[in-house]
Structure 1
Amino acid sequence: MTDSTFEIFLQAPPGLEPLLAEEAREKGFLTPTPVPGGVTTRGGWEDVWRANLELRGAGRVLVRIGSFMAFHLAQLDKRAHKFPWAELLRPGETVRVDVSCRRSKIYHAGAAKQRIETALEAFGARIAGDTVQDEESDAEAGIEALTLKVRIEDNEVIFSLDSSGAPLHRRGTKQFVGKAPMRETLAALFLRACGYDGREPVYDPMCGSGTFVLEAASIAAGRAPGLSRGFAFERLASFDATRWQALRDAASGSATPELRFAGSDRDAGAVAGANANAARARLGDLATFHHAAVSDAAPLEGPPGLVIVNPPYGGRIGNKKLLYGLHGALGETLRRNFRGWRVGIVTSEAGLARATGLPVTPWGPPVPHGGLKITLFTAPPIT
C-alpha cells in the first residue's frame, strides 16, 4: 500500500469492453485497456471516486489494494494479519470476503476465506454472515457490507475492494421499472455504439420505463450518472468528504440543451412511470413521454437524431410469431415519420430486426442480458 496509485478494474458486459475503454479515455483515465469482462486503468482514490461518479458504462469499480505470495495456509494467515488494513478500513466496518483459488498450492477457498476473515477480525472489522438469514438480518439492521474479493492464482494472493457497493446501473432515480428492463449502464454503452454524443435528440417508440431517453438527456445535460446515489468507498479510511463534494459539484451539469428527448409506449402505466422517473432524475424539462401505439409514434419538432428501441423479442415477453408484424409496423412508422433519423434496435433475433425492412447491420457481438444474448442492430439515416 505504499504506492499512491493502484490498478482499477471497470466492469463491463462481455463484448462491450472497447466502448467502456473509449468512455474512460474521454474522461481522462490513464491508459484504459480492454480486458475480458472490463477495462483496466491506474489511479489514486480520487480516480476511483470519479470512475463511480462519472462513467456511464461501468457496472462496478474494483480496486486492487494489494497482493503477496503465499504457498500454504499458515503463510496466508501470517501475511493477512500483517496487511495494512488500517490504511483501507475503519474499525468496526462490516466486510464480506469472497475467495477464489486457481493453480495454487492453496486450493481450498473455504479455508483461505477463514484465515483472511480471522485477520480482519483481529484488525477490528466485523465479518458479514454467509447465509441468506444473515444477509436479511443485516439488511433489517441497515448494515451494508463492504466486499473484499480475494483471488489466489499461481500462489499470488490478490486483494481487491468493490468500491461501488450497489451495482452502478442503479442511478438512484428510477423507481418505476417496466417489463424486461434494460440496465442503464448497458443502455449508455448502446447509445455510444450508435454514435450518440449528446448533440442530437433521441426518441424511443417503445420506451417502457424510459431508460434510453433518460440516459440520452442526462448525457446532453452533462449530468454525471452517480449524482443521486451513495457508494461503498464513502465508508473507507481513505475517504475525504470535502474533496468528494468538490468532485460532485464539478459533475453536477450546468448545460441546458435546447434539444428535447421523448418516448412513447402503448402502455399508459409505463408512460406515467417513465415521466415520474424523469422528474426524479431532474430531467422532466428535457425528456417527456406520451401514450401512443407504435404506428402513431412521431418525433417532436426539431432536427433529426437517433431512434433507439428495445422492443419485445419473444424470449421473455410476447409471442415471437406475432412480433414479426410488430417489427414490420415499427419499420413502416420510422420510414413514414422519422426521415433523416438514424436507428438502433436491440433484439435477440436478427430476423426481427430485419422484419423492420430497414437496412440494419449488427454492431458487435451478442451481449448477455437477462439470460438471453442480445445484439444491437443499427441503420443509417432513413431516406
Structure 2
Amino acid sequence: MKLRTFLVLLLVLIVGSFMFTSPVFAKKAPSLDKWKPDFDPKGAKYKCMVSNVSTPGLVGTLAGFEIRDEVWKRTNGQVYVDFKPYSMLGGEVEVLNMLQMGAVQGMGVSSVASTNLGPRFGLVNLPFLVNSFENLDKFINNKKIFNHFLNAMDHQGITGLDITGYGNYGWATTIPVRNIADAKKVKFRIAEAAVNQLSYRNWGFNPVSMPWPDVPVALKQGVITGLDHTLTVCNVTKKFEVAKYFTQINYAQGLFIWIFNKAWLAKLPADIRGAFIASVHDVCAKSRVKSLTEENTNIEKAKAAGVEFFKLSDSDMATLLEQSKGVYDKYAPEINKLYPGDTYKPDNFLKEVQGLLQ
C-alpha cells in the first residue's frame, strides 16, 4: 500500500512538472469561466477529477459539466466532480495511466483511445457495426451486452459506467470524394488507434496517423487532405474552413466512454455511490438524445456554409463492408477475451453483438 501511494505521488509530480515545462502546456489554457458551477465546491467531502480531450462545444463533452452539477445535487454537495476538458490534464494515454494509478478519478475517454487499457472497447470502432444512432440505442438497451462491454477495463482497476456521443464518422476532404476511386487519392488523417489503422489499410486507402492537435496545420499545409471524423466535430472545430466536402459513410459512431477508478468508487458510502452512478447514467442518456439533434443541426449549418455532401453508391459501400471482414477477424480474439471480473461469460461476444445489430 505504501509503495502504491508513493507511485501515485510520483506520477502526480512528474505530470505536474511536465505541464509546467512542456511547450504544449506553455500555451494559455482555455477558459472554463463559461461553465463555472453555481455552487461553492469547497465544502465537498469527496472530490472526483475527470478529464476529457475535447471541447464542451460538443454535447458529448458538455456532459462532464452536467454530471458535475447532477452529482452535486443528488449527493447534497458531498461530491464535487472537477471536470477538465480540452486535454487540460494531458493526452488520453497519459490520463489513462493516471486514472489507473488513482491520480485522477474519472475520464470521458474516446472510444478510439480506450482500447489501450480495454481491448474489448474496440468493438465500437469496428466498421459498420455500431454505426448509427439506432444501432447505438439497441446496443445500450441490451443491458447484458452493454454491461459486459463496460466491464472492459475492470481488470485494470477501472469501471465503465456509460457513454455519450458526437455523431457519425465520415470523411471531410479538400477534394470531392464521390466513390472509392476518389477516396484513394486522399491522404486521410486517422486516430492513433490500431482498429482504425487496419480498417483503412484493408480499404486500400492512404491513412496518416496523427495526434488531433496537429491536424489544423497539417490540413492547411496539405500534409493531409482529408479527415476521418464526425461531421459534428469537423463543424464545431472549424475544419470545414479548409475541407469543403463531406462524404457520409457512417461506418461508426463517435463515442466517449465515461470511466472511473474502481477503488475510488468503492470508498464512497453506498448511498453516495448509488447517487453518483445514477447521475452519470441519467446525464448520459439525455446527452445521447441531444447528440442526434446536434448532428442534424450541424449538417444544416455546414450546408449553409457551402460544404458539399456526398454518399457512396451501394456497390462501393458493399465493397468497404466486404473489405472490413479482415478487421473483425483480427480483433475478435481481443474483443471476446474474458477476464476474472466478468460476470457474463459469452462464448463469442462479437458474434452476439453482430446478431443483435446486423
Higher relative CO (Cα under 8 Å, sequence separation at least 6) belongs to: 2
Higher-helix-fraction structure: 2
Query: Quick check: which has more Rg, 1 or 2?
Result: 1
